[in-house]
């Protein structure tokens, strides 16, 4: 009987210590994660896709179809296709630009449907300029409707903000 009581007490103590140490370590990890996170800028950038510069549109189309993508937009005659798999979008562009480009479409969701709320591309451009980010090919701030601009990230990756509305 004493042996059972001692064993039960030891197990309860070990369990309690485990909970205590877990909460201490988890709390430290949670605090470290919160410290690393930056506040959300509040910018609504719309649909995201990657625009790939491809050498052979037919070969690339077949490759991405094997990954489960299907043609969503564009045409072979125009030398570009927009491929879609669920909410993932990939643009395949033959002979239109060098390198790959990350693309945001303010005002559109992943189905190219208008969003109720979004930041106009000129508003995004202004916000990035105020953050000292160099704008490549800036849009005209005095216009409304469709516009675009580009930035380059610290590693040389081009990012296109392309508004169609």
76-131 residue pLDDT tens? 999 999 999 999 999 999 999 999 999 999 999 999 999 999 999 999 999 999 99
25 and 77 part of one domain:
no
Q: What is the span of the domain harbouring residue 144?
A: 47-163
pLDDT for the residue 1: 52
CATH code of the domain containing 157: 3.10.180.10
At 79 the three-state DSSP class reads coil
Q: Does residue 42 form part of some domain?
A: no
pLDDT for the residue 124: 97
Do the strands 47-54 and 88-94 form a parallel or antiparallel pair, or are they unpaired?
parallel
**Structural domain count of the chain:** 2
Instruction: Give the number of other CB atoms < 10 A from CB of residue 122.
Output: 20
**Of residues 27 and 152, more confidently modeled:** 152
Indicate whether 161 pLDDT > 90: yes
Q: Does residue 83 form part of some domain?
A: yes
pLDDT for the residue 4: 47
pLDDT for the residue 2: 55
Indicate whether 12 pLDDT > 80: no
Residues pairing with 103 in the sheet: 49, 160
119 and 68 part of one domain:
yes
pLDDT for the residue 41: 65
55 and 27 part of one domain:
no
Residue 72's nearest CA partner among 91, 58, 94 is 91
Indicate whether 134 pLDDT > 90: yes
Indicate whether 8 pLDDT > 80: no
Q: Does residue 72 form part of some domain?
A: yes
The CA-CA-CA angle for residues 52, 127, 102, to 5°, reads 5
pLDDT for the residue 19: 42
86 and 155 part of one domain:
yes
Indicate whether 6 pLDDT > 80: no
pLDDT for the residue 64: 98
**What pLDDT band is residue 16 in, cutting at 50, 70 and 90?**
very low
pLDDT tens digits, residue range 48-80? 999 999 999 999 999 999 999 999 999 999 999
Q: Give the integer Cα–Cα distance in Å for 147 and 132.
A: 21
76 and 136 part of one domain:
yes
């Amino acid at each position: 009987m004493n042996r059972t009581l001692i064993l039960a007490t030891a197990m309860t103590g070990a369990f309690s210590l485990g909970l205590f140490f877990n909460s201490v370590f988890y709390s430290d990890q949670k605090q470290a994660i919160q410290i690393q996170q930056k506040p959300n800028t509040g910018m609504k950038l719309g649909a995201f896709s990657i625009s790939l510069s491809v050498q052979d549109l037919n070969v690339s189309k077949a490759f991405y179809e094997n990954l489960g993508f299907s043609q969503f937009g564009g045409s072979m005659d125009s030398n570009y296709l927009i491929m879609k798999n669920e909410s993932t979008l990939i643009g395949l562009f033959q002979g239109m630009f060098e390198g790959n480009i990350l693309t945001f479409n303010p005002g559109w969701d992943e189905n190219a449907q208008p969003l109720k709320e979004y930041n106009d591309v000129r508003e995004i451009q202004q916000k990035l300029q105020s953050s000292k980010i160099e704008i490549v090919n800036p849009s005209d701030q005095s216009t409304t409707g469709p516009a675009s601009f580009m930035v380059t990230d610290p590693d040389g990756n081009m990012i296109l903000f392309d508004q169609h509305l």
